[in-house]
Chain A
Amino acid sequence: MPSNAQKLGHLMLHKTANENTNSVSYYDPDKAKVLKLATSGTAYRHWSDYGQTTASANSTTGVDMNKKFNLNFNAGYQRLMTVMFRGYISGGAYYFSWAIKNFTTGNMVPCMIDGVTGASVYGGTGSNTRRTISTLMGNQDFNCGVRFIGNVHATSSQMMATFDVSNESHNDQLGLIMNASSGSGTSWYSNPSQTLYAEDLNAWMGVGAAGIQYDLSYAT
């Protein structure tokens, strides 16, 4: 069991007035990763896009689903963003995965769930679903991709996932990307004979909030 001194040594309190990080960071010695906790704040519905959009699964680096918004860091919201939507890929050889991309910088946005792969619903070890970020503990590699759940070839609510947007900048444009993938989500493929569909997207600046399913029912 770690001593209190060791526990304190893993805690990183480095919020400053002009820094984007509006959450508490800590070092997990088991995962050798800097992880974050949400601070109290407003779970504000920051981004919603209910209409169905579609795109050919013709990329290996993420298909733009034409659902985008611009980050607003001026309102004091947490730098953790929870996203959920409904989607599927039409019938064919592949399954699908999804992620949030910063279209201003071209970077993927790290998912808060990291180091859980394989049969987990949070798959993603392929290079297209990873991002290397400079932290207080040096450069670290974070998961960005989320694997589908539900009926992969018919509209299904996807796993609610929280992303760390503290590495992005005010007014950056973020958006939903999807991609044909292996069943585990670890490998992404281009297959133009399949089509990706997305709808009923909601995102909060904060962790998961109650009432989401009601919103989705209302939206449909």
Chain B
Amino acid sequence: MGTPTLSQYIADLTNACNYLNDQVASNSIETFFNGTTDVYKVQALVDGIKYQLSLDIVSSSSEDLSAFNNSVSAAETYIATLP
């Protein structure tokens, strides 16, 4: 590869959302240390997906991003239930 392309980002988002959906379905409570504090894995996945969705090359494209946004919304609903 080299310089990232739109198709690369779409592939990343597809894979990330599939993994996120699985984590939500299995009620994941996995955490990790980000160098400062412990963070829920699902929260980091949501932040990562939002980050790639916000990139100009993605947000200004003609790709249908609704499935990705739906995954994020469902995950945020789940995260709100975590302690």
The answer to whether B4 touches A91, judged by C-beta atoms less than 8 angstroms apart, is no
Interface on chain B toward A: helix, strand, loop, or mixed SS? helix
Q: For residue A151, which residues in chain B have a CB less than 8 angstroms away from its CB?
A: 34, 39, 44, 47-48, 51
What's the tally of chain B residues with a CB closer than 8 Å to chain A?
27
The answer, yes or no, to whether A159 is at the interface (CB within 8 Å) is: yes
Segment touching B, from A25-33, A172-180, A189-197, A206-214: A189-197
Q: For residue A66, which residues in chain B have a CB less than 8 angstroms away from its CB?
A: 2
| 8 A Cβ contacts from B18-53 to A | 19-20, 32-36, 39, 44-45, 47-52
The answer to whether A195 touches B12, judged by C-beta atoms less than 8 angstroms apart, is yes
The answer to whether B32 touches A183, judged by C-beta atoms less than 8 angstroms apart, is yes
The answer to whether A93 touches B19, judged by C-beta atoms less than 8 angstroms apart, is yes
The answer to whether B2 touches A91, judged by C-beta atoms less than 8 angstroms apart, is no
Q: In angstroms, how far is the closest chain B Cβ from the Cβ of A96?
A: 11
The answer to whether B8 touches A91, judged by C-beta atoms less than 8 angstroms apart, is no
The answer, yes or no, to whether A38 is at the interface (CB within 8 Å) is: no
What is the bound-complex CA distance between A193 and B39, given in angstroms? 22
Q: In angstroms, how far is the closest chain B Cβ from the Cβ of A26?
A: 29
What is the bound-complex CA distance between A55 and B12, given in angstroms? 12
Closest partner residue, chain B, to A191 (CB atom): B15
The answer, yes or no, to whether B1 is at the interface (CB within 8 Å) is: yes
Picked from A51, A149, A154, the residue with its CB within 8 Å of the CB of B35 is A149
What is the bound-complex CA distance between A67 and B49, given in angstroms? 25
Q: In angstroms, how far is the closest chain A Cβ from the Cβ of B47?
A: 5
What's the interface size class on A, roughly? 20 to 34
Closest partner residue, chain A, to B45 (CB atom): A91
The answer to whether B35 touches A91, judged by C-beta atoms less than 8 angstroms apart, is no
What is the bound-complex CA distance between A151 and B36, given in angstroms? 11
The answer to whether A193 touches B15, judged by C-beta atoms less than 8 angstroms apart, is yes
Q: In angstroms, how far is the closest chain B Cβ from the Cβ of A149?
A: 3
Q: A54-B3, A54-B8 are in contact. Are A153 and B35 (CB under 8 A)?
A: no
Q: In angstroms, how far is the closest chain A Cβ from the Cβ of B81?
A: 20
The 8 A CB mask of A149-192 against B (1 = contact, 0 = none) is 11111110001000000000000000000000001000000000
Picked from B3, B33, B48, the residue with its CB within 8 Å of the CB of A90 is B48
The answer to whether B47 touches A52, judged by C-beta atoms less than 8 angstroms apart, is no
What is the bound-complex CA distance between A159 and B51, given in angstroms? 21
The answer, yes or no, to whether A53 is at the interface (CB within 8 Å) is: yes
Q: In angstroms, how far is the closest chain A Cβ from the Cβ of B27?
A: 16
Q: For residue B52, which residues in chain A have a CB less than 8 angstroms away from its CB?
A: 90, 154
Not counting A54-B4, A90-B52, A152-B44, a sample of 18 additional A-B residue pairs whose C-beta atoms are within 8 angstroms of each other reads: A52-B4, A54-B1, A54-B3, A90-B16, A90-B48, A91-B44, A91-B48, A150-B34, A151-B39, A151-B48, A153-B16, A153-B47, A154-B50, A154-B51, A159-B35, A193-B15, A193-B19, A195-B11
